[in-house]
Structure 1
């Protein structure tokens, strides 16, 4: 019995020691920090993240904006769209990139949401993000509306903060690749190879564009 307990304790310790943390700084082409860039780490070794990506998300339409402007979710996530504006929105989604809302693009969807009646909850509609990759959100009626959802097949994916930094925890030790996606960076920048260890690591990724200022 004592040997079994010791073996379990050693296994748990080994599992704890086989994960590391990584801090990634994302800069624009001028060297300034970029907020709301998606940082994805793909380790060669499998493991479980400290915090799983959400499988449910709520995206509001408010003052002709998508809130949040960028969401990071797991493949298969169910999204609840809520229209808090008093007017109708015709939400549409397609793969983000050069072919924005192109009729030939696949994997998109359309949702019509009536305006919010005064004094009552906003109208809602559901959709599921079934395919990995960035998704562009827009509105058929209001062309200025833009939002994004990044659907990640790696559980190590997070948005950068105002300081341009993304912190990722409990990544399995060994080789890994860092990928960065940002809405205005239409041409992907090359991934960066890193080695994750028990010692916290740092990396810097630089875009080739200066992101447009977000509409407030």
Structure 2
């Protein structure tokens, strides 16, 4: 009569002792070299619940005609702040990244140039839809940046060596997805069996663009 109760106790004990793992993912470009600024996302296998997300409030700056950082990763629901550190006006626009982008932007606003001795002009936006967002400036067409809005708490971008490390990942089957700003087509997700320490190499067909350098002379204005 008590067997079902004992089974339930065993199952509960098993859940309580489930181990959190560390997953190291190395992402490679089309030529086999490490791929920096690739976003790596782990999601629970089908049928498993997604943990609650903790929204963040990062700041993206505009300086020397660039967005810094060039690629940001935030959870869904995060409120992203923008600040203009240049002396001239900038515009901030954001819309879907990739080939599906149609010129319809989810948000856009203008930031005045920074005045000496004053706080930089800024604006904020809440990103409540998962997926990559491309940033641009109507005033300076060469400026671009990206924010990957993740539906999963296990999301991080690769370092200069193409490596992303995700901590506190539950052991078991997980879906791994890789995204990069310069990809032409979406990369299919792969299934990874997460163990205590898991390492994965992910080749891609991405060949990143060369960054455009903008020269600034001392004392010059734009």
What residue in structure 2 maps to residue 113 of structure 1?
A: 111
- For the pair shown, the structure with the greater C-alpha radius of gyration is 2
What residue in structure 2 maps to residue 136 of structure 1?
A: 134
Given the superposition, is the C-alpha separation of residues 193 and 121 from structure 1 closer, same or farther in structure 2, using an over 3 Å criterion? Answer: same
1:29 matched to 2:26: no
The alignment's TM-score, normalised by the length of structure 1, stands at: 0.86
What CA RMSD, in Å, does the superposition of the two structures yield over aligned residues? 2.1
The alignment's TM-score, normalised by the length of structure 2, stands at: 0.83
Aligned equivalents of 2:19, 2:49: Cα separation in 1: 11
Aligned equivalents of 2:114, 2:20: Cα separation in 1: 47
Task: Report deviation, 1:76.
Answer: 1.0
Aligned equivalents of 1:12, 1:150: Cα separation in 2: 37
Question: Is the partner of 2:201 in helix, strand or coil?
Answer: strand
Aligned equivalents of 1:37, 1:54: Cα separation in 2: 21
After TM superposition, which residue ranges in structure 1, 4 or more long, deviate above 6 angstroms?
none
In structure 2, which of residues 192, 198, 201 is the aligned counterpart of residue 201 of structure 1? 198
Stretches of structure 1 that go unaligned for 5 or more consecutive residues are: 1-10
Aligned equivalents of 2:90, 2:20: Cα separation in 1: 45
What residue in structure 2 maps to residue 212 of structure 1?
A: 209
Stretches of structure 2 that go unaligned for 5 or more consecutive residues are: 1-11, 214-222
Task: Report deviation, 1:43.
Answer: 1.8
What residue in structure 1 maps to residue 216 of structure 2?
A: none
Deviation sequence 1:36-88 (CA, Å, 0-9, x none):
10000012244759xx7652110100001001111000111101110011111
1:174 matched to 2:175: no
What residue in structure 1 maps to residue 220 of structure 2?
A: none
Given the superposition, is the C-alpha separation of residues 191 and 35 from structure 1 closer, same or farther in structure 2, using an over 3 Å criterion? Answer: same
8 Å CA contact 1:37–1:181 kept in 2: the answer is yes
Aligned equivalents of 1:174, 1:13: Cα separation in 2: 13
Given the superposition, is the C-alpha separation of residues 98 and 190 from structure 1 closer, same or farther in structure 2, using an over 3 Å criterion? Answer: same
In structure 2, which of residues 152, 173, 190 is the aligned counterpart of residue 154 of structure 1? 152
Given the superposition, is the C-alpha separation of residues 200 and 92 from structure 1 closer, same or farther in structure 2, using an over 3 Å criterion? Answer: same
What residue in structure 2 maps to residue 66 of structure 1?
A: 67
Given the superposition, is the C-alpha separation of residues 62 and 71 from structure 1 closer, same or farther in structure 2, using an over 3 Å criterion? Answer: same
